[in-house]
Chain A
Amino acid sequence: MSARALPLLFLNLGGEMLYILDQRLRAQSIPGDKARKDEWTDVDRKRVMNDIISTMFNRKFLEELFKPQELYSKKALRTVYDRLAHASIMRLNQASMDKLYDLMTMAFKYQVLLCPRPRDILLVTFNHLDAIKDFIYESPGILNQVDETFRQLIETYNCLSDGEFQLIRQTLLIFFQDMHIRVSIFLKDKVQNSNGRFALPTSGPVPWGTEVPGLIRIFNQKGMEVKRTEFTTGGNYITPQREGSFELYGDRVLKLGTNMYSVSRPVETHMAGSSKNLASRAKENTVPNPFAKEELNFLARLLGGLDIQKPAGGETGFRLNLFTTDEEEEHAAQTRPEDLSYKVINIEATQEPGRRAELSRILGELEVAEPRPGGAGKGEDLLALMDGL
């Protein structure tokens, strides 16, 4: 519903993706001098992070992203992250990519749900960006891109009212509705129940601007307070200490959106049990917005069209496994429930002439790195690109 939810969705999911990739790369990395040709080193890890972050914050890409538009389906958005994850020398199998996307979405769903105020979603975004800046602090060029995005976020969102933020939050919650994939790190921390639902605490600090529940004040006709009574609830709330900072630099106070993964904690998801919610899952929007798909393909195409250094010798690059062993990954691919698979969407031609003209113009300005198969039409080019993923 809100036309301003997509940038927040993209940046936060991207941030979670980077946390997970960083953790896996560190877990699988070997000291440089001991590494074989196909093993990860610290240098490789830094390079992957740099490549992905620099692609994610590409100016033209973000320009498109920040335009007012409706949110896309989970399946459609997944395509963008697929391309983003492959923006470097790293390769992920379908099963690992699925798992990565599951983790990203469940983590951000948790953050959106638990935000004390709808406006705090912005603080969560800033937490992600602060961490991203830490990943690439050695590269001033990319750091600049991230700071630019930070400023654009502040400019676009700081002036929105609480009501508008709640609309953004409600739009994001519709996106995440019915997702109950269990994440081991959440289960261990008792943040998620065994049925996949998040635990909502009824204690702790109230949001900034809210009073601790319990007081009733009565006023007379002249507006003078004449009585106070108190009531008790089951909750156990306290007043908050301070508000988080919405500036470029500052203490965000809120912990949501900070990196909860560390090298020693493996990240696992559980597929079994989430199918219990099959009955309650309404069918996904069966008539997807053709404009949304073309727009999204444009985003995906933008990512694909950027100049990416391919590894020497035409190798397929280093493969990252999100599971502990190759066998596990193979098994996960075969046992993934049907309703949870992210099928790549089919591209349909759209009839709207104005939009195609605009897209064609922008596409014409981009440098396309990969060869075009035999001069076929635009639709077929995109199809070929998608098939090549």
Chain B
Amino acid sequence: PVPPGPTSAIPPRGVPVSAATLTSSPRASPLVRHHAATRLHGGGGGPRVSAGGRRAARGSGTGGSGVPGTGRWYRRERALALRSSSSALYNNLAVLCPPARPPRAFGAVHGTTLSLLGPEGPPRQLPARGGGSALSTPLLTQAAWCELPARVLLVLTSQRGVQMYDADGSTLVFWHALDVPEHPAAHSVFARGISVAREHFICVGTSSGAVLVFDIPPKGTNVTLSEVLEQHRDPVTDIAAEQGQALEGAGDLVTADDSGTLCLWSTGEEFTLLGKIPGSGCTCSSVTLWNGIVAAGYGNGQIRLWEAGTGQLRAQVSAHARWIYALDLAPLTGKLLSGAEDSFVHVWKLSRDPDTDDVEIQHCHAECVTDTQVCGARFCDPAGDTFAVTGYDLSEILCY
């Protein structure tokens, strides 16, 4: 069933700022320049460099406050061995972390299998489903644990379709096959992008741009395809649900694609498109949604923060020197984790100024994973005090 819904984006309140204007034209209004190195401040509400500076914006140009230095927030802890190395795929690290307990399981895709690491027992591998014909084993594109109120499902996406297992990967609950042509066409077919929505849907993206919405029963295998959302014209890369408080009029689901286009949806028995943020040709490989702020990671190494309600660009960070492969968000604190091909993992802090309603992003911590192109990075607890990372050709998950 094709969803009804508006196809035009809601025009933003302010002047829309396109990527072109951002990088080229000089600004008319005076700016305050701060030089804030990674600062040391306690968890939660510490002093903010921005507050003082911004209020003195018009002309006074005070220097930066905060302690310059390499305030280290995290230290490297242990490395967990996987049975096989991780593939270079977007968002290639799945973590199952029940609240207030250490992470229960990790997973990373290696070609045609998912490498699983549980709390006890040896590491295992879960293969992609062939789809029944005599064709070769398909490649997996992504895996993620979907936490619903009544159950947790492990979802795998591949060149052939979508596999849903129970949390430890022992029982196949549901299989959805994609329409794969007889002979390979110029455009590849695959599923990619996994997220829970509104506590009883699982959304999966596809290479055609369609987003499949599956209705998940609290138990049993009676999963049904409830809707197919067709707004993207390029392969879907990532999907994220609102992890905090959705703002009024803002969506609670965001989908991203290869062209950098972001779609904002309101979920329910029928999904409605609320707005579309057009891409500028730069792939958005990873996306998160928190308190009405969309954080998106791009192929040119930038992180952009968008207002979910209006589609307005609120922040632009030249975060990485290479393609960003993973973003993750810690909902209790608004910490944002980014990992990219440049071997770096950065931790940022998102916040919103209650007076001015300005969105803030500060750099907290940088970690270099030597000689590794990071392809997966996830927080291991909802406050973001710990995180895990993996990279291409790495047979380990590094924990910080």
| Chain A positions near chain B (C-beta within 8 angstroms) | 1-4, 68-70, 113, 116-118, 161-164, 166-167, 169-170, 173-174, 177-178, 180, 193, 197-200, 202, 206-207, 209-235, 237, 277, 279-282, 285-292, 351
Contacts and interface: CB of A to CB of B under 8 A. Distances in A.
Interface in B282-318: 282-283, 299-302, 307, 310, 312-318
Contacts of B323: 117-118, 166
A225 B22 CA distance: 9
The 9 closest A-B pairs by CB, nearest first: A163-B258, A222-B14, A231-B363, A289-B136, A223-B17, A280-B395, A211-B318, A282-B84, A163-B283
Interface string B35-46: 111100000000
Contact of A3 (B50, B134, B188): B188
Contacts of B282: 162, 209
Given A223-B313, A285-B136, A212 B321 contact: yes
Contacts, number: 245
A288 B136 CA distance: 5
B14 A220 contact: yes
B281 interface: yes
Interface string B334-348: 000000001110100
B112 interface: yes
A197 to B, nearest CB: 6
Interface string B56-94: 010000001000000000000000001111011100000
Contacts of A113: 373, 392
A222 B27 CA distance: 14
A193 B393 CA distance: 14
B139 A174 contact: yes
Given A161-B259, A173-B88, A193 B112 contact: no
Interface string B176-190: 000000011111101
Given A164-B258, A174-B88, A218-B315, A200 B186 contact: no
B111 A174 contact: yes
A289 B135 contact: yes
Contacts of A234: 344, 366, 368
B29 interface: yes
Contacts of B317: 215-217
Contacts of A200: 343, 370-373
B22 A217 contact: yes
Contacts of A285: 111-112, 136-137
Contact of A213 (B38, B49, B319, B370): B319
A209 B13 CA distance: 29
Contacts of A161: 234, 258-259, 281, 283
Interface in B211-254: 234-235, 237
B322 interface: yes
B31 A166 contact: no
Contact of A2 (B17, B183, B188, B259): B188
Contacts of A174: 87-88, 111, 139
Contact of B85 (A4, A69, A280): A280
Contacts of A233: 344, 346, 366, 368
A291 B319 CA distance: 44
Contacts of A209: 282, 300
Contacts of B359: 218
A289 B136 CA distance: 5
A136 B142 CA distance: 45
B286 to A, nearest CB: 13
A4 B185 CA distance: 9
Given A163-B299, A213-B318, 16 more contacts: A1-B188, A174-B88, A198-B371, A206-B301, A207-B322, A213-B319, A224-B15, A225-B31, A226-B54, A226-B57, A231-B37, A232-B37, A233-B368, A234-B344, A282-B125, A285-B112
A177 B316 contact: no
Contacts of A199: 371
Contacts of B82: 280
A202 B342 contact: yes
16 contacts: A1-B190, A4-B186, A69-B184, A70-B136, A118-B299, A174-B139, A210-B318, A210-B321, A216-B362, A220-B358, A223-B12, A223-B17, A230-B34, A233-B344, A285-B112, A286-B137
Contact of B29 (A117, A221, A226, A232): A226
Nearest to B257: A163
B14 to A, nearest CB: 3
B182 to A, nearest CB: 9
B205 interface: no
Given A221-B14, A229-B50, A178 B299 contact: no
Given A202-B342, A210-B322, A211-B302, A227 B188 contact: no
Interface size class of B (residues with CB under 8 A): 35 or more
B16 interface: yes
A227 B50 contact: yes
Nearest to A206: B321
A163 B234 contact: yes
A236 to B, nearest CB: 10
A204 B286 CA distance: 26
A289 B183 CA distance: 12
Contacts of B37: 231-232
B136 A214 contact: no
B300 A282 contact: no
Given A161-B259, A216-B317, A282 B346 contact: no
A167 B393 CA distance: 17
A197 B371 contact: yes
B390 interface: no
B341 to A, nearest CB: 9
Given A220-B356, A227-B54, A193 B371 contact: yes
Nearest to B283: A163
A331 to B, nearest CB: 29
A193 B346 CA distance: 25
B33 interface: yes
A162 B16 contact: no
B314 A281 contact: no
Contacts of B17: 219, 223
A198 B134 CA distance: 37
Contacts of B14: 220-224
B386 interface: no
Given A161-B258, A210-B322, A173 B344 contact: no
B393 A227 contact: no
Contacts of B234: 161, 163
A68 B182 CA distance: 12
Contact of B357 (A221, A229, A282): A221
Given A162-B283, A174-B111, A221 B315 contact: no
B53 interface: yes
B321 A237 contact: yes
Contacts of A211: 23, 300-302, 318
A173 to B, nearest CB: 4
